[in-house]
């Protein structure tokens, strides 16, 4: 038991140091963006990564947000105390459940399961086939080509997914009010949105941005880190994907809990 604990602790610190080293090298590579030719190449790779991780995941993000919007409005209607303003009551539930907690968590899980695993698989195959050596032989940096687009695209993608989620969640809940209750006919969409936005403080915005930036950054870098550990066996790729996804889920959950704890204090 002591040996297992010691091994796990050693592996944790080793992974943390490797991740810190990769982040340092990736940030250092950003200086090459001053070169117009390299910046053009980076922009192409960045847009490709942003499209794959941020835009193509919008449909599943919106679908889950729609379901959550229906659930939240139904729950609010069933729990609404007598004499309490409905919209004000719902706005308080919405910003705590969707903006602060569930929205970021679900968006992060979608990013991990859909995009991060794809990055690990893609880079793992490149590593397995020795194509990093080919890139290096052409005097190009593998970090610049493969890490830098992920470094910038993943945080922005996660922030976009937060935005999609909350907007769709609000609109779907208003649709339920409009179709199935008497509140919708007496409440315009503009009044509904203003009441909800007024409840979202600057702390909520900072918390969400912190979760997106730090969470997206670490999810992307962990994907690359585990892909780099692929050696000469095809089974290494599946192991890298499994280990990467497990680590990302734990790290992102920890980030969510930490930011929420600081916001609640």
List, for residues 28-73, the tens digit of each pLDDT value: 888 988 888 888 989 999 999 999 888 888 889 999 999 988 888 8
pLDDT at 151: 92
Cα–Cα distance, 97 to 165 (Å, whole number):
12
pLDDT at 1: 59
pLDDT at 119: 92
pLDDT at 175: 85
Positive or negative, the CA dihedral 250, 152, 123, 109 is: positive
pLDDT at 191: 79
pLDDT at 5: 63
Q: List the chain pLDDT tens, one digit each, 265 residues.
A: 566 666 667 777 788 888 888 889 888 888 988 888 888 989 999 999 999 888 888 889 999 999 988 888 888 878 777 766 777 777 778 877 888 788 889 999 999 998 999 999 999 888 888 777 777 777 778 888 889 999 999 999 999 999 889 889 888 888 887 887 776 566 777 877 887 888 777 887 888 889 999 999 999 999 999 998 888 787 888 899 999 999 999 999 999 989 888 877 6
Per the CB < 8 A criterion, the answer to whether 61 and 164 are in contact is yes
pLDDT at 204: 79
pLDDT at 7: 62
pLDDT at 156: 94
Q: 207, 218, 205, 226: which is closest to 249 by C-alpha?
A: 218
Q: 43, 47, 23, 22: which is closest to 32 by C-alpha?
A: 43
- Give the CA distances from residue 204 to residues 134, 210, 224, in Å, rounded to whole numbers and listed in that order: 46, 10, 30
Q: Is 20 exposed, middle or buried (0-12, 13-18, 19+ CB in 10 A)?
A: exposed
156: how many CB neighbours lie within 10 A of its CB? Answer: 17
What secondary structure letter does DSSP report for 33? Answer: G
Per the CB < 8 A criterion, the answer to whether 85 and 186 are in contact is no
pLDDT at 3: 63
Per the CB < 8 A criterion, the answer to whether 252 and 215 are in contact is yes
């Amino acid at each position: 038991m002591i040996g297992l604990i010691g091994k796990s602790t050693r592996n944790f610190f080793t992974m943390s140091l490797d991740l810190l080293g990769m982040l340092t090298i990736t940030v250092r590579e950003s200086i090459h963006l001053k070169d117009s030719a390299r910046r053009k190449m980076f922009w192409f790779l960045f847009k490709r990564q942003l499209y794959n991780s941020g835009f193509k995941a919008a449909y599943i993000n919106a679908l889950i947000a729609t379901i959550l919007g229906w659930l939240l409005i139904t729950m609010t209607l069933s729990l609404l105390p007598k004499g309490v303003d409905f919209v004000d009551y719902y706005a308080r539930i919405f910003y705590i459940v969707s903006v602060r907690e569930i929205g970021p968590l679900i968006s992060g899980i979608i990013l991990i399961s859909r995009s991060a695993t794809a990055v690990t698989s893609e880079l793992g195959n490149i590593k397995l086939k020795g194509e990093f050596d080919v890139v290096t032989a052409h005097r190009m940096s593998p970090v610049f080509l493969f890490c830098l687009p992920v470094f910038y695209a993943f945080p922005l993608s996660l922030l976009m997914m937060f935005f999609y989620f909350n907007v769709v969640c609000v609109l779907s809940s208003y649709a339920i009010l409009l179709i199935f209750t008497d509140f919708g006919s007496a409440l315009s969409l503009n009044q509904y949105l203003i009441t909800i936005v007024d409840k979202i403080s600057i702390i909520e915005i900072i918390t969400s941005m912190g979760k997106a930036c730090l969470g997206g950054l670490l999810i992307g870098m962990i994907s690359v880190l585990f892909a780099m550990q692929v050696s000469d066996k095809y089974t290494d790729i599946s192991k890298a994907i499994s280990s990467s996804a497990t680590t990302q889920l734990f790290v992102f959950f920890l980030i969510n809990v930490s930011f929420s704890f600081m916001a609640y204090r």
